[in-house]
Each structure stands twice: as structure tokens, then as C-alpha cells.
Amino acid sequence: MLMTTTALDPRPATDPGAPPMRPDRGDRLPRWAVAIAIAGLPLLTPQGPANTAPADGFILLAIPAALLWSGWTRQRLRFPYAAGIATMVVAGCLAALLGNYPHVGLLAVLIDIFLLLWATTVANVGRNGAAAGFLLRAWCVTGSVWGVSFVGFILASGGVTYGSTRAGFTLGEQNGAGLYFALTILAILAGRWPGRLWWRVPIVACLLFDLLLTGSLAGIIGLIAGVGLALVVRTGARSGSAAALVLLLVLAVAGAAGYEVMHRGQFADRLQSSQYTLVRNSIGRAQQSSWERQTLTQETLHLWRTSTLLGLGPMATKSTLQQQQAPYPKEAHDDWTAALVERGILGFVGLLLLVGEMAVRASMAGSHRRLGPDLSTGLPAPEFLVGALATLAVYSFTHQILHDRNVWTLLGLLAAFSSWRGSAGLPRQLVTRPAIGEPR
């Protein structure tokens, strides 16, 4: 008769000489610490020095809580996205030290490390289906509460009273708020929370209304792109790659046609002068926003052509443009030109490594077959988690999002669902092994 031993044997099967392990006292503390930090993500006002916010305080509590738990129970840790971010950190340090704005550049590098630690914390706390599902539901629940609360505040104040002003809510910046609402909608669709559809629909409707109030064109387009990619991934899992490719081409053609129509002269003018505030503040700004970003991109690329291969230094674009008396001095409005101009060729390589790892992890977490039965319980609709990467892609070409806390929370969840397979996510003393004398 075959027999197995579990937690009664304190030593792993692969290392009979290892010292006894401390008992696993559960991961409730780090789980709840990370969940509370996820709940506090929208608390970005008031801002402190170096763009710190109340949300960072909760993150700073979650990281050491997870470290203490992992050290006490001797958990095996994973370090996702380390290669790409390490490359960008090295590039940022070199560019900052050799550039004209070293203090600002080194501060940006510290923010890189802080956000990588946050994503690593999320990934390691969510090391099995129950834990990862708990963190995903924490985002669904708290994001829903925030979204409904914002709508309630608008209705209590007498309707949409913002006039020509776009709403940033407690997130301060409107495009950042739009990104939070778009990612929260996709998280709810991925986690299928609430479980009952007749509850889920009104919550998603509230979040959509919040998204429209922000007037974030990138948020609206990003959400559409995220849902579109999710449909492609689901089609590929159910009907094969050929059907997925056909759907992708259809959606791409439809998107290109919509872009052309939205930028036609008469139609764009009608949108800009629309009597509806939500239309005027969102898609009505498309033509103006496109012109502003083209101008800024041209100025930023001119800096790249006239600078060294090491770059100007992180967050040095605006100061350099002001020094050169450029007509539109702003920070770089996309991650790609920012990496190239501010961190040089090495920083751009680091960004490519980061994006490549994200794509690999998305392929590992895109279907229940690849997730396995344990992790599938925590992610009922994995295609929407993958689809959220399309939202990030849209934002990355119009804004700098690598310092956004919501982005790294999402990447941490993606790493959690793609890193741990089988018994790899369990504490070492809970991994079963054959009893003494039985074949291995």
C-alpha cells in the first residue's frame, strides 16, 4: 500500500539533511496587508514630496509584512520583471549621474525599485489559487466600492456639475483615474465578481460612468482594446489560432475605420462642440490631444538625436525642453520615447525585456488549460487579465505609466497567476513525498 507523509515531516524530500523548518502559521497577515494596499490604490491625494501619496503608506506596510512572513516560513520567492527593471535601473543611474539633473534621475530610479518590490510582493503572496484569487477579489470588491461611491457623490451633488472640468476624484490626475477604472472593470470581468450577473452589470456600469467623467480618451480606447484582446484570447482557446487571427484582423480593421471617422474634419468639429459634456470632454478632445502629442513627440525625438547614447537622465525631458525654450515643454508623454531619450539605448533594451516578459507571462496565464486546476479557481476568466495588457499598451503610447501603482499591481497579479504551478506555490513542508522505503 502506498503511503505519503505531509507536514509531519519537517524536511523536504530533495534535501534529507536540511534543518527543520518553522511551521507555516498561515499567510493571512500578508494577504490582508496586500489587500488593504490594493484597497488604498485610489488614495493619491493629497500628494506629498516626490509624488508620494497615502496609497504608498499602505504599500510600505504590505512589503515588510510579506518579507517577515516569507522569512519566518522560509518560502521560496520569485522575482518577476527583475531583468527588465534592473537594466532600466542601471541605465537610469548612468544617465542621471552623467546628466544635468542627477537628483531627479536618482529619485526616479528609487521609484522603479519601490514599484518592483510592490509587484514582487503581490506575486509571492499570491502563490496559489486561493491566495491569488483573494487578491484579485480584493481589487474587484474595493474597486467596486470606490466606483459606486464616486457615482453616489456625483448624484448627491446634483448630477454632473463639472461643466468643462474633467473629474480626477481622489486619484487627482484624470488620465490616471481613467486607467484605474479601466483596469478595475477588466479585473471584475476576469474575477467574475460579483458572482451574480445582475449585480455585476450595474457595478460595471458605475465604473464606466466614472471613466467617462474622467474624460480620459486613453482610458476609453484602452478599455475597448482590452476587451477586444480578451475576445481574441478566448476565441483562440476555444476555436483555435486561425479563428483568433480572423477576429483580430476584423477588430483591427474596425478600429482603424473608427479612428479615421473620429478624426474627419466635420465629425471631429461636431464632437468638439457637442452639447453633451461627457462627449466634449472625452472623444471630443481626440483631434486636439493627437496634435499635442505629435508636437511633444517631435520635440522629444529631437532631444534624442542631439543627446548621447546614454540619455539625458530620468525625468529630465521637461527641464531640458524648458532650457532650450521649446514651444511645448512637457515631460515625455509615452514610455517608449521616455526610455529612449532619458535612459538611452540600454534603457530602451530594458523596456523591451520588460515587455517581452509580460508577453510570456500572458501566454502562460491566458487559458485554464495553462493555468492548471489550482490557479484556475482564482481566475475564472483569465482572458480579461491578459486583455488588460492591451489597455497598458494603449496608455504606454500616450502616457508614462511605468510609475503608476495600478500598473504594477496588475503586473504582480499576472506574475502570481503565471509563476506558480502545481505544488510550487505551497509551503515546502506541505509538499507530499513518498514515505520511507517507498519508491520515489
**Pairing of the two strands 4-5 and 433-434:** antiparallel
Check pLDDT > 80 for residue 99.
yes
- In this prediction, residue 265 carries a pLDDT of 58
**Sign of the CA dihedral running 238, 241, 245, 246:** negative
Check pLDDT > 80 for residue 67.
yes
Q: How large is the average pLDDT for residues 244-254? A: 91
pLDDT per residue as tens digits for the range 104-153 = 889 999 999 999 999 999 999 998 889 999 999 999 999 999 999 998 88
Instruction: Note whether 12 and 427 are within 8 A (CB).
Output: no
Distances from the Cα of 151 to the Cα of 42, 86, 305, 307, 323, angstroms: 15, 41, 47, 47, 43
Secondary structure (DSSP) of 28-71: HHHHHHHHHHHHTTT---S--GGG--HHHHHHHHHHHHHHHHHH
**Cis peptide leading into residue 46 (ω within 30°):** yes
Report residue 360's pLDDT band, with 50, 70 and 90 as the boundaries. very high
Distances from the Cα of 342 to the Cα of 226, 337, 339, angstroms: 29, 8, 5
Which letter, b or e, does each residue of 375-401 get, where b requires 16 or more Cβ atoms within 10 Å of its Cβ?
bbebbbbbbbbbbbbbbbbbbbebbbb
- In this prediction, residue 257 carries a pLDDT of 83
Q: Please state, in angstroms and rounded to a whole number, the distance separating the CA atoms of residues 421 and 418.
A: 8
Grouping H, G, I as helix, E, B as strand and the rest as coil, residue 299 is helix
Grouping H, G, I as helix, E, B as strand and the rest as coil, residue 225 is helix
Tell me how crowded residue 159 is: count the other CB atoms within 10 A of its CB: 8
H/E stretch holding 433? strand 433-434
The residues with which 434 forms a beta bridge, in sequence order, are 4
Report residue 215's pLDDT band, with 50, 70 and 90 as the boundaries. confident
- Nearest CA to 433 out of 73, 3, 1 is that of 3
Determine the angle formed by the axes of helices 82-98 and 102-125, rounding to 10 degrees: 170
| CA-based radius of gyration for the chain | 23
- In this prediction, residue 271 carries a pLDDT of 57
- In this prediction, residue 287 carries a pLDDT of 59
The residues with which 433 forms a beta bridge, in sequence order, are 5
| Phi-psi sector, 172: left (phi>0), alpha (psi -120 to 50), beta | left
Instruction: Note whether 433 and 9 are within 8 A (CB).
Output: yes
Q: Where are the beta strands (DSSP E) in 188-249?
A: none
For the chain, give the mean pLDDT: 82
Percent residues over pLDDT 90 in the chain: 47
Of 66-70, 274-278, 392-396, least confident by mean pLDDT is 274-278
Burial environment of residue 140 by CB neighbours within 10 A (0 to 12, 13 to 18, 19 or more): buried
SS (H, E, C) 366-426: CCHHHHCHHHHCCCCCHHHHHHHHHHHHHHHCCCCCCCCHHHHHHHHHHHHHHHCCHHHHC
Centroid of chain to Cα 37 = 14
Distances from the Cα of 330 to the Cα of 97, 315, 400, 423, angstroms: 22, 10, 12, 49
Check pLDDT > 60 for residue 334.
yes
Q: How large is the average pLDDT for residues 398-406? A: 91
| Phi-psi sector, 7: left (phi>0), alpha (psi -120 to 50), beta | alpha
- In this prediction, residue 4 carries a pLDDT of 37
- In this prediction, residue 278 carries a pLDDT of 57
Better pLDDT: 310 or 275: 310
H/E stretch holding 86? helix 82-98
Report residue 201's pLDDT band, with 50, 70 and 90 as the boundaries. very high
pLDDT per residue as tens digits for the range 253-270 = 988 887 777 666 555 556
pLDDT per residue as tens digits for the range 413-423 = 999 999 886 54
